[in-house]
Amino acid sequence: MSLMQELAQRALDRGVPLSVQLDVTYRCNERCIHCYLDHDNHGEMTTAEIRNVLDQMAEAGVFFLTLSGGEVFMRRDFFDIVEYARSLMFCIKIKTNAFMIREKEARRLRDLAVHDVQVSIYSHRPEVHDAITLLPGSLKRSIEGIRLLRSHGVKVVIANVLMMQNLNDSAGVKQLATELGVEHTTDPTITPMMDGSRNVLRLGLGVPQLRKVFRDSEMVDNVAEFCASPPARSDDVLREVPCSAGHTACYISPYGDLFPCVQFPLPSGNVRTQMFIDIWRDSEQLNEVRSITLRDLPVCSGCSHVGSCTRCPGLAYMEGNIRGPSTLDCEKSFARTGISSANMLLKHAHQGAHGLVQISMPSAQTSLV
C-alpha cells in the first residue's frame, strides 16, 4: 500500500474529510459548450466567508484543497484566498484555463508553492479548441499561460475532456503536453448540468467512439483490458464503498452549498448557515451516501462488471437513483470489454418485451437512459 493509499484509508476509517474542492466562482471568460455550470453570479461567498470556511476545514482535518470555478482568476481576491489557504498548510491544486495568467500571476503561484495547476486544453488546433470554449484566441492564451507557469517551475497538468468535437485531436494534445513539459490526462466523461439538464450529453462519445479510445494505447494506460472478462464478484468487492464522495471528500459551491462531489449535486448543507464539521458529521444526505456499499446496489451488485466498473454515484443520482446504475459508466464498461452490463441487459429485455428491440449499440447521439 502506497503512502497516499494508507492516508486515504486512515481518513476513511476515522471519518476525516481529507479532500475538498471549493469553487470560488461560477463566472468564467469562456463558455465551453459542454460546461455543466450556470455562469451568472448569484451571490458568491465573500473573502471573509471563505476564510472562515477554510479555518473550519483546517480544523476538521482537510489537507488537500482544490480551488476551481468557473475561472478562478475572475475573482479579484483570488490570490488573497490562496495565500490564506497556504497559511493554513493546505496542499493546494488550482483549476484554471490559464487565459489570465501573466508573469505576475505565474511568479506568485510559484511563491505560494501550489502543488499543481490544471489547465483544460481540448485540442492542439485553435479552430477546434476555440470552437469548444467559444472564446477566440483562447488556445493561444492558455498555452502562453502554461509556458509562463513552467518557466517559473510550477507543475502543470493538461486536462483533455473528450467529446465528438475533439475526439481525433487527443494525440495532438498529448504531443503538445510533451512539448510543453507538462503532464496530461484524458477523460471521456461529459457531465450533466448541475441543474439536472442532460442536454450536454449529446456531445459525449458513443460506444463506437469509446471502443476507439480503449483500443488506443496512446489514450489509455490499461488498454490490455479491452475485451478481457471483468473480474469475478466477491464478498470483498461488494463490501467496498463506491467512491470517496461523502466518505473522505466533498465539494463546496461559491454560494456555500455542500455536496458529496462536484459530480454528485445532492444538497447536504450550507456552510453559510452551518458549521462545516456539523454538516460533515451529521448531514442526513451524507450519512445516507456513506451507508451505501456495492452490495446495496440492486442492479450493479449482480453485474459482472461490479469489480471493475467506474460507476459514479453522482452520475447515477443525476440519472434518477442514488442506488442505481450510471448509464454512462455502463457504456464505458461495455466499450472496454465487449460484455453488456446488467443494466444494459435489463433495458434490452424491457425493450424486447415491448417490441422495441434495439439491434445496434447506441451511437454518439443516443443514450441508454
Q: What span, in angstroms and rounded, lies between the C-alpha atoms of 268 and 17?
A: 14
Helix, strand and coil percent figures for the chain, each rounded to 5: 40, 10, 45
Output the DSSP codes for 58-71: HHHT--EEEEESS-
Q: Has this prediction a pTM greater than 0.85?
A: yes
Taking residues 357-369, what's their average pLDDT? 35
Q: What is the pLDDT of residue 95?
A: 98
Q: What span, in angstroms and rounded, lies between the C-alpha atoms of 354 and 345?
A: 14
Q: Tens digits of per-residue pLDDT, 138-149?
A: 999 999 999 999
User: Do 71 and 27 contact (CB within 8 A), yes or no?
Assistant: yes
**SS3 of residue 96 by DSSP:** strand
Q: Tens digits of per-residue pLDDT, 279-331?
A: 999 999 999 999 998 889 999 999 988 888 888 999 999 999 999 999 989 99
In this structure, of 71-80, 160-169, 232-241, the range with the lowest mean pLDDT score is: 232-241
Q: Tens digits of per-residue pLDDT, 13-48?
A: 899 999 999 999 999 999 999 999 988 889 999 999
